[in-house]
Structure 1
Amino acid sequence: MERCGQWPADSPWLREAFAALPRDRFAPQRLWRWDGWAYVPVDRAADPDGWASELYGGVSSAAVTQLTGGLPSSSLSAPGAVADMLDSLRLEPGHRVWDVGTGQGWTAALSAWRAGPGLVVSSEVDERLAGFARERLAAAGLDAEVRTGDATRGGVPGGGQVDRLHATYAVESVPWSWVEAVRPGGRIVYPWGRLGYVALTVADGGAGARGWVHGLAQFMGDRHAPAQATDGPAAHVAVRAGADPQVRRVLDRDPAGLEDWDLRFAVRVAVPDAVLTTEQGPEGPAVLVHDGALSWAEFRAGADGRPVLLQGGPRRIGDEVMAAWDQWERLGRPELYDYGVTLTPDAQWAWHGSPDGPRWPIAQPAPAGR
């Protein structure tokens, strides 16, 4: 963290908390490593060095701790992302905290170290994970409560309101119950869908919440939400299913431009279900796009060396990506930090520059009871 400059300057307490509560105290004896084809187990007893390398692979590396159906369903989040998000939470001693998505209990532990005894309650939908986290929190001597339940469908366990809400799994739209759970002036920090995380401040009277995008992050999604499309060339191949392109056209720009993370974030805002993957080929990088269902596109060099767009399926998702790219250019190629999110009881939207600037609706489920 020190070598990479990852310690947030405004939250020096995080360095102390990380030292007091290292990740290995909250890691299970088995982790999972991607070998290029599938996830394979890495057991601490059989391969302690490999286990440690997987756990401390880097400040931007999560450690997979659980598989469901062969795919990751829980992890210890990347240390850099955890530090950034807790810095954005602006957590102070005495704050009451709702930690949403306990996992192995590490973020609940860090929050409890800062807030104080009896002030952190954490929700976990998986009873086995909840039990594991309770054991690790108790072993660390921390007074933090772990409740089993679905945080996207209810309020604060035990009732009342909190000063801070920190989510460790991604949601595209924020449950309104989360806004109701936080006192006016309080903070909500959450991973936003496929990419990015947002820090919101709850308005006076609890009438809404808004705030800025604070960084890049990719987290596992809500288990009860519609499944998100998976990343990687294999997922694109599955959507394309061997179909020939229905549309082919020459482009006036280099597809390599789509490797810019600020542009990718702009595409994420405008076309939230588009999955972009870069594949290296003999003619250079190709950007593959799909929607996780039936539509796909490929930005690549053509046979004559000129860039081309190929696409197929019921929607022209490549054209949608191009439109988002054009809009990003017209806006002056903004950074991801130039975007924000506003929530009201009836609508949610992303915006650029200011809450009154260009906006994009965020799809949300109907409020409970409607």
Structure 2
Amino acid sequence: MSYLAADERYRSMTYRRAGRSGVQLPAVSLGLWHNFGDTQPLEVQRAVLRRAFDRGVTHFDLANNYGPPYGSAEANFGTLFAQDFRPYRDELFIATKAGWDMWPGPYGDGGSRKYLLASLDQSLGRMGLDHVDVFYSHRYDPDTPLEETMGALDTAVRSGRALYAAISNYPAEQHREAVAVLRELGTPVLLNQANYSILNRAPEDEGLLTAIGDTRTGLIAYSPLAQGLLTDRYLSGEVPAGSRMSVGHFLKEQALTGAKLRQLRSLAKLAEQRGQSLAQLALSWVLRDPRVVSVIVGASSVAQLDQNIDALNGAPLTEEELAEIDLLSRA
């Protein structure tokens, strides 16, 4: 059955401007990191993508090595795009990245011009697109001159393979340098994508948010739920079957210490007092800062996606609540 997007898809989503650009992104974006590889049924992926767009999520975030296996998230997205979303291409903001390990040999990792542009061409092929809306350098590579990496992003934009450039996992100093190089080249740069959550405040502590504000770019937060720690899944102290912690790839069972459980349960109690889940509180907290353009959430089901988007219905955090979260997050 062909897909028709909901008529009311733009009525309730909040959109935020990316720095000084003309681009507005949904406050909640859908990340295709964990749940869109070949280990997840395609029909579940289809249901999540359709529901996201029906609720105004226009931004789909991918990378060359998302899966598993590498490349499969882009390939699966390409299949669903062709079947469901091609009529809506101009309403979508599609991102991909290159920078981490992707294929064997010296040209499948890092920040070289050789790797980034070859990877982008492969990504476009997997997704069945002639361009992405934004192409990221996925990490700062100290072994490649910054001018070379940013020059590759400039080429991606000037060749029409991407509309905007962005960076990810760049520290504050390198963020400033990268933005300066891109702007000198005349390349529109939007975002720095960084790991940011109640449990990981490095963007504040290490000056990245200050650099974001000074350069009038935007931060887009990945792992705002700390790989699932900031959800109700682990509050019992048990590790549910099928959870990220049970797989143990990025989130290890050793993270669930007694002190961590007490911290999470205290945050969950505060969330309950606000009429929110722990995940909704965590998303509200990241979005409290106007320098944050969007939070990227993963979702393995429509119900999980809906709960995350419903965080936007929560009341603004009070000064008292923010102070309590500060104490709990640094405990």
Shorter-chain TM range is 0.3 to 0.5
Structure (1 or 2) with the larger CA radius of gyration = 1
Instruction: Indicate the structure with greater strand content.
Output: 1
TM-score (norm 2): 0.37
TM-score (norm 1): 0.34
Considering Cα pairs closer than 8 Å and 6+ residues apart, tell me whether 1 or 2 has the greater RCO. Answer: 2
Instruction: Indicate the structure with greater helix content.
Output: 2
